[in-house]
Structure 1
């Protein structure tokens, strides 16, 4: 059953995604929603809807701020393996990931964006791709399964995140995990435990500010 417009327009997850599309890219999401099918528990899961016109929405996303997944390229085909329909990824981080198909679209906010544009205008993937695959795709799949089976447990397990070398820790050669103590719109406070390649162990608090 579709979610009523009165219900989804004031939903926090919908508003996070719709506001980013409007404020950064002048795209008014509500004009493209024929029926809202599902709203996830967090921006990383996003919103799923039947589009008014998927071709029109794809045309709007063909701008420098979004990179289209080219499945003719092996690396991009692997990155798009979980994408339904045509994928458009916002450059930078965090980044909107838009999956556009004729009957169903999903737009969510990836915490670890990995698409960047070189000075010559060419698209490339930065090393945050690995963190994205392990955390947001791999671990995210487990959390998503729990969201459907045991929502309370899913919300709790979403506070855990694996840590690999990434741009936020300046690609420090350490592995570990993070537990989110508290989070809000665009910020989180967590505890991290990591093990470096030299054998050093660290436990530290970490405050992250993200421009959502």
Structure 2
């Protein structure tokens, strides 16, 4: 899962980025509204954390421009005030949720995950594909009683496929989910991660299918296979 953080307080931004990367998110960070508006025109994110008050273009204006482009990426507003007026401003501008500074790390992470689940149309605490189960609370993948020991990018790819199970997910979409702007994206790396995931799923009733030129599908194995 890839996030964009828009926060002009360098110390707070560093703390949030460190926290979220520790939770296995790929995170890009920019410090002003102009840069955020530019990045959001070209990059794809699973969620955006947007400070309400930014130098130059305000967070509210960044969000308004985003929605005018018909971009429905989930947006979590960061605000220093918890007044009714501020809350109304956040939701009126098109925000999906908000947190008031200072906030607890667990609350921030929980709200981000809830936004991503909601965007994917997932209302439960776990996803199931055959005997493969993903628990949102622990972020563990299990095949039966076995917990899969996945590396960060393997986890991000399988999470993306699980959220879109039975649907084609392009290689470009998977690259977006694991590589931040300061990484060196590699299409070949995705093939390697998929190969590793298939090894993890070797004894599972879930499988990853390659559709050449289109992408990948996570699905339950057919009884006719």
Question: Structures share a fold, TM > 0.5?
Answer: no
TM-score bin (small chain) = 0.3 to 0.5
Q: Which has the higher contact order (CA 8 A, sep 6+)?
A: 2
TM-score (ref. length: structure 1) = 0.32
Decide which structure has the larger Cα Rg and report it: 2
* Structure ranking higher in helix proportion: 2
* Structure ranking higher in strand proportion: 1
